[in-house]
């Protein structure tokens, strides 16, 4: 399992774009990058997943450089409700593979 | 998307009693489910991997006799905290992937808040 490193916390303001970067220097060839969001007293919720280049959905964008040693989750125009912990996970996504969480990034959106 | 449901959402029990937490995959089958615990302001810690029809695999440091896991069907796994003590108070979360596919994300239950008094 590739280890990930993220900032412990970030603050931003409503309406801003927020970028959270995750380092995964020892990512393997068949590893995917997945981001989850967790609100207090709730289970994590899938946000986005990618393998290379750029992935975009209705919630976020994921930028992955060619060497895949890092990735950036981009949240466009955040609101107060985006205050949560964001986890970057790297793994092969086999059905039985363990999902190990790092410390995550605690994002605090200010009014 | 797929739904994983946990029950109960919260439970308060007396020290020394046992508590059972259920984890169900509502619209997919899961041969493997995972159980986590999470303390305040900390990340999720994997406790064990629940395997349908066979014994669970526990992470290092997790007492298998204290945290009993049963995965009797492809849609249900249960975690029983036996002889609970106040230090077992935590947020317990289960997750699962759809057994039919590889390359899919995991789905998480809403969590169960256990308070042992």
CB-nearest partner of A42 from B49, B101, B111: B111
pLDDT at B64: 94
Rounded distance, CA A101 to CA A87, Å?
A: 7
Residue A34 to residue B105, Cβ atoms within 8 A: yes
Residue B107 to residue A46, Cβ atoms within 8 A: yes
Rounded distance, CA A61 to CA A72, Å?
A: 8
pLDDT at A99: 85
At A92, the pLDDT band (50, 70, 90 cuts) reads confident
pLDDT at B102: 61
Distance of residue A65 Cα from the nearest chain B Cα, in angstroms:
21
Residue A101 to residue B43, Cβ atoms within 8 A: yes
pLDDT at B103: 61
> What is the mean predicted confidence (pLDDT) over B29-56?
92
Cβ–Cβ under 8 Å, residues B54 and B33: no
pLDDT at B21 over 90: yes
Under 8 Å CB pairs connecting chains A and B tally to 61
Q: Tell me the residue length of chain A.
A: 111
pLDDT at B69 over 70: yes
Tokens of residue A28, six digits? 């393997």
């Amino acid at each position: 399992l590739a280890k990930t490193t993220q900032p412990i916390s970030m603050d931003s303001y409503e309406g801003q774009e927020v970028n959270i970067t995750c380092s995964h220097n020892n990512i393997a060839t068949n590893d995917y990058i997945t981001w989850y969001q967790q609100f207090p007293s709730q289970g994590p919720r899938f946000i986005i997943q990618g393998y290379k280049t750029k992935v975009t959905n209705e919630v976020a964008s994921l930028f992955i450089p060619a060497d895949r040693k890092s990735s950036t989750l981009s949240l466009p125009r955040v609101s107060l409700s985006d205050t949560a912990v964001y986890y970057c996970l790297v793994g092969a996504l086999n059905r039985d593979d363990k999902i190990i969480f790092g410390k995550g990034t605690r994002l605090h959106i200010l009014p | 998307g797929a739904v994983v449901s946990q029950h109960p959402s919260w439970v308060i029990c007396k020290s020394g009693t046992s508590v059972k937490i259920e984890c169900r995959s509502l619209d997919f089958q899961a041969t493997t489910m995972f159980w986590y615990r999470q303390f305040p302001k900390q990340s999720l810690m994997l406790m064990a991997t629940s395997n349908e029809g066979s014994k669970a695999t526990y992470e290092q440091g997790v007492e298998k006799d204290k945290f009993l896991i049963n995965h009797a069907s492809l849609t249900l796994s249960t975690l029983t905290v036996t002889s609970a003590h106040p230090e077992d108070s935590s947020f317990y979360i289960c997750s699962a992937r759809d057994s039919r596919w590889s390359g899919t994300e995991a789905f998480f239950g809403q969590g169960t808040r256990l308070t042992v008094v």
